[in-house]
Amino acid sequence: MSSGSEKAAFRAVGAVCDAVDKVMTGRADNAFCAIRPPGHHAEPGLAMGFCLFNNVAIAASYARRHYHLERIAIVDFDVHHGNGTQAAFYNQPNVLYASSHQMPHYPGTGYPTETGAGNIINVPLAAGETGIAFRQKYSAIILPALRKFKPELLLISAGFDAHKDDPLASIMLVEEDFRWITQELMCCAESYCESRIISALEGGYNLDALAASVAVHVKTLMGL
């Protein structure tokens, strides 16, 4: 942490909540929040893993309260398990939390047996797995669950540390894999929630890989 962390953390939460307002009122089709610190490791009572506030979880709660949404989905493709988001919604069937993550790896949670009220879906990836396995697992498990859930709003915990060049993990995704998952999630959002997507930056620690991956993600969200 630094002397600027508090301000940055409040702005990060504020950005995602502002994106909820813009997307829910039709002022934006979708949104990407280029924020740090990330959020998905922060539990309701515990800062953890670079995360001070759980930006996406707070935005989901905000959306539920202010726009009376009954079904919100959060898809988390950061290479680490979002223990904080899972903890925030563990027994809340109106929020679907689906995560793909390297396992075993930090923070040690995210087993497929952690299912909450049936609303938690954990899909482990083994070190060294490539986009082929990533796409197969999304196609077989997470995307069908998302379609069955029929979310009214889709939030993305968009971490790019599953990139092959990332120094913190050992999954071998490339930019095209991030384009693919973005397109698949957009397709689902188009079917069920008028294309409403709010994506928030989580991890990503090779700055060149992060920049290239975020650019692909944002261009895809923009329909480019």
CA distance 175 to 181: 10
Task: Give yes or no for residue 82 binding Zn ion (CB under 5 A).
Answer: no
Residues with a catalytic annotation lie at: 41
Query: Is the bond leading into 104 cis (omega within 30 degrees of zero)?
Result: yes
Q: Which residue is nearest to Zn ion (CB)?
A: 203
Our CB check for Zn ion shows the closer of 152 and 177 to be 177
Task: Give yes or no for residue 76 binding Zn ion (CB under 5 A).
Answer: no
DSSP output for 119-141: TEEEEEE-TT-BHHHHHHHIIII
CA distance 31 to 59: 13
DSSP output for 73-101: EEEE-SSS--HHHHHHTTT-TTEEEEEEE
Our CB check for Zn ion shows the closer of 131 and 159 to be 159
Could you tell me which stretch among 7-15, 117-125, 135-143, 195-203 binds Zn ion (CB under 5 A)? 195-203
Site string for Zn ion, 133-172 (x = CB under 5 A): --------------------------x-x-----------
Site string for Zn ion, 197-216 (x = CB under 5 A): ------x-------------
43 three-class SS: strand
At 5, which amino acid appears? S
Q: How many residues bind Zn ion (CB under 5 A)?
A: 5
Q: Strands across the sheet with 30-33, in order?
A: 30-33, 197-201, 153-158, 72-76, 95-102, 120-125
Our CB check for Zn ion shows the closer of 80 and 163 to be 80
- Residue 22's CB is within 10 A of a number of other CB atoms, namely 15
- Shortest Cβ distance from residue 68 to Zn ion (Å)? 32
Could you tell me which stretch among 17-25, 29-37, 72-80, 184-192 binds Zn ion (CB under 5 A)? 72-80
Task: Give yes or no for residue 78 binding Zn ion (CB under 5 A).
Answer: yes
Q: Which residues bind Zn ion (CB under 5 A)?
A: 78, 80, 159, 161, 203
